[in-house]
Structure 1
């Protein structure tokens, strides 16, 4: 985190990304992207390859904590959500291959 109460690691990443003028925030997590529904509860859930901040908000999709998400949206800082446990996922993200979900303005 940032060392401040109520600020998550998501918020720290969004804040630092904004401060340094990053082109994107890479959110490596336990899921391999943003889905139409919780894939653990809904077997018909499908992964978005790309989704806008506004659509994610309107569909109430939990991409990251609300503060971090709003900061990225307001700063027009895209987020790439991908699995940290899937072998080769980070490499595919860096190479621009179809991996995870891109959340954009």
Structure 2
């Protein structure tokens, strides 16, 4: 019988992605997508209305809302948040 090995990770991306550069990118995109989803969920707008406010298309907003991270760039996500009145700031740790 084999021994069960349990690992603990601070983020799902730490568990899924070995490349630290790609992992950092995924963490940032994920955080931005979560903020857009929070904004949308409190907006009481349809996806079409919200997409117009965010300066994007309804299908692209749908990608964000459904976590399709591979279809979202950092630039696009930052632009959407700024259009929603949510200001993005950056903190860099050593």
> TM-score normalised to the size of structure 2?
0.29
Structure 1 length normalisation: TM-score?
0.27
Larger relative contact order (CA 8 Å, sep ≥ 6): 1
Instruction: Return the structure number with greater strand share.
Output: 1
More helix by share: 2
